[in-house]
Structure 1
Amino acid sequence: MGSIELSAVEKWYGEVQVIKGIDLAIDEGEFVIFVGPSGCGKSTLLRMIGGLEEISRGSLAINGTDVTDQPPSKRGLSMVFQSYALYPHMSVADNMGFSLKTAGAPQSEITAKVSEAARVLKLEDYLDRRPRDLSGGQRQRVAIGRSIVRDPTAFLFDEPLSNLDAALRVEMRYEIAKLHQSLGRTMIYVTHDQVEAMTLADRIVVLEFGTIAQVGTPRELYESPANLFVAQFIGSPAMNIMSCSASGGQYTLWGGRGGTGPNGAVKLGIRPEHITLGTPGDGQADGVVDVAEYHGSDTFLIIDGAELGRITVRVVGNTGLRDGDRVGLTFAPEHTHFFDAQGLALARP
């Protein structure tokens, strides 16, 4: 069992409210990731679930039992932090089994659980080494192994990969995904890196100033953002956002061209891969190539759209366009998003 439910959870520091009434149900075995900009409350919310921060108002239930006032040791959760926090004088095996040893577990149980965790994390060859003899990725695996041996109800990860370089981050994303598959345990993961969120999560919780902006699968958030904040936060490069007006079932961009759109729209959103290049006068807008960023498999063109601002276009492979070339931009109507004056998504006609 590993279900977690937050009901009207709030966090106050004096007169300042940082978590503003969160309602969230996490199913057993689910991998849920909290994302959002710095200061949105994602780490605070994770620490409240773990018992490291007091819940000011509301309640928290684990497996149907109210644990709002229970200390961390009574919640059956295990937390992996950004810092490895390994004992430098202990071997890998001793680090992983330390919590069991302090709990008075017999040595046979400690050895069996450490061996199993080492097998899952591919650390069998490193059990006699000290932390100083390991790479950053191996140290993080040891920190995760220390959590596994406790056999927790759920794992809580607080930006565990932020101290690693780019190559190790990719490797550890794979390791954590495989770990979730093999253990089948509930995992809650905090990150500011949307690539981690999109590749690892069953569901993503997007937080904005202590509230939930949207909850959904990575695909739901990418293809159907509920509001302007989620539309601009999810996706790399970010969704292009342009001002428009709409009436009579038609929208008009600044510059005079447009197409079919819902009444009340004041912003149009279109992702870089959903724009087709053509000759000037084609499609919804014209622009001038400002910068071409070649990424190997893709090229990202930064287009100067005059009053529409900068528009990013994704082209598969290379392109013969050069800086200063003028192009027409056609927006795929089935992938065009519209938002009202409050920033809420409007249904496409």
Structure 2
Amino acid sequence: MGSITLKAVEKWFGNAQVIKGVDLEVQDGEFVIFVGPSGCGKSTLLRMIAGLEETSRGQIIIDGADMTAEPPAKRGLAMVFQSYALYPHMSVGENMGFSLKTAGASKAEIAEKVGHAADVLRLDEYLDRRPKDLSGGQRQRVAIGRSIVRDPTAFLFDEPLSNLDAALRVEMRYEIAKLHQTLAASMIYVTHDQVEAMTLADRIVVLQAGRIEQVGSPRELYDRPANLFVAQFIGSPKMNVIPAGAYAASPQGAVHLGVRPEAIGLTAEGGDLRGVVDVTEYLGADTYLIVDCGEAGKLTVRTDGTTDLKPGQQIGLTISQAPLHYFDADGQRV
């Protein structure tokens, strides 16, 4: 089992409230990702679940038991930090089995559990090496392996890939996705990278200023954002937002119109809007155009990588009807 429930959880540092009444249920075996801008409280919330930060108010329930006041050691959770925190003088196998050794486990039990974790993470051939002889991705796998041997109730990841370069992050995203499939364990993962959130999560929790803005699957958040903040935070490049009346008739109460970059087409003549290409960003299969549309603002358009448009050229934009998003003056979905 690995269910985790937060009930009206709050965190105060003196007079400053950083977590503001969070309610959330994580089901057994679910992969949930906390995402949001820097300072939104996602790492603080994770540390509260782990017991590394005291909960000011509310309850943290793990597998039906109230663990709010319990120390980390009694919560049955394993945490993987941003830093690998490996012992440099120990081998990979010794690092992975150290927590079991300090808990008094037998050599046979340690060898069995370290061997299983090494097999899952494809670290078998590295067990006798020191951390300095490993790549960043391999070190992160060792840190994850150190958690696996403890057979925890759930895994907590605090931005585990932020120290890796772009290629290794892609590789480790795959590794973590496969790990979740193999272990079928509950995982809560913190990141500021919405690409990680979209590719890994069963459900995403979008946080802003200590509050949950929306919870849902990646597709739900992308297709039906609850408000303007979620609409622009989820998706890369972010959603274009223009005045609701700049394009066509809009629903009652709508002030802002949101359009994804891929919902905008190009035309040489006519179009729903006219503009001038300001910047082109070539990415191989895709090219992103930043188009200055005057009063409607600058819009990002996702187009085919073969486009030969250049800055300064005038073009027309056509807006697809189906994926439009309308928001009121407070930024809430209409």
| Secondary structure at the counterpart of residue 322 of structure 2 | helix
What is the TM-score of this pair, normalised by structure 1? 0.95
In 2, Cα distance between equivalents of 1:75 and 1:148: 15
| Secondary structure at the counterpart of residue 162 of structure 2 | coil
Match of 1:286 among 274, 282, 295: 274
In 2, Cα distance between equivalents of 1:28 and 1:149: 19
1:320-347 CA deviation, whole Å, 9 max, x = no partner? Answer: 322211111111111111100010011x
1:33 Cα deviation after fit: 0.2
What letter matches 2:288 in structure 1?
F
In 2, Cα distance between equivalents of 1:14 and 1:298: 49
**Aligned partners of 1:206 and 1:212 also within 8 Å:** yes
**Aligned partners of 1:294 and 1:318 also within 8 Å:** no
1:293 Cα deviation after fit: 1.2
**Aligned partners of 1:280 and 1:326 also within 8 Å:** no
1:125-173 CA deviation, whole Å, 9 max, x = no partner? Answer: 0000000010000000000000000000000000000000111000000
Partner residue, 1:25: 25
Residues 188-203 of structure 1 aligned to structure 2 (within 5 Å): 188-203=188-203
What letter matches 1:286 in structure 2?
R
In 2, Cα distance between equivalents of 1:115 and 1:194: 34
1:73-117 CA deviation, whole Å, 9 max, x = no partner? Answer: 000000000000000000000000000000000110000000000
1:305 Cα deviation after fit: 1.0
Say if 2:330 is the partner of 1:326. no
Partner residue, 1:266: 255
Partner residue, 1:204: 204
What letter matches 2:90 in structure 1?
M
What are structure 1's unaligned runs of at least 5 residues?
A: 245-251
Q: How many residues are treated as equivalent by the alignment? A: 334
1:280 Cα deviation after fit: 4.2
1:179-206 CA deviation, whole Å, 9 max, x = no partner? Answer: 0000000000000001100000000000
| Secondary structure at the counterpart of residue 20 of structure 2 | strand
1:318 Cα deviation after fit: 1.4
In 2, Cα distance between equivalents of 1:327 and 1:157: 46
In 2, Cα distance between equivalents of 1:338 and 1:123: 50
Partner residue, 1:44: 44
Residues 83-162 of structure 1 aligned to structure 2 (within 5 Å): 83-162=83-162
What is the TM-score of this pair, normalised by structure 2? 0.99
In 2, Cα distance between equivalents of 1:261 and 1:279: 26
Query: Which aligned runs of 4 or more in structure 1 are off by greater than 4 angstroms?
Result: none
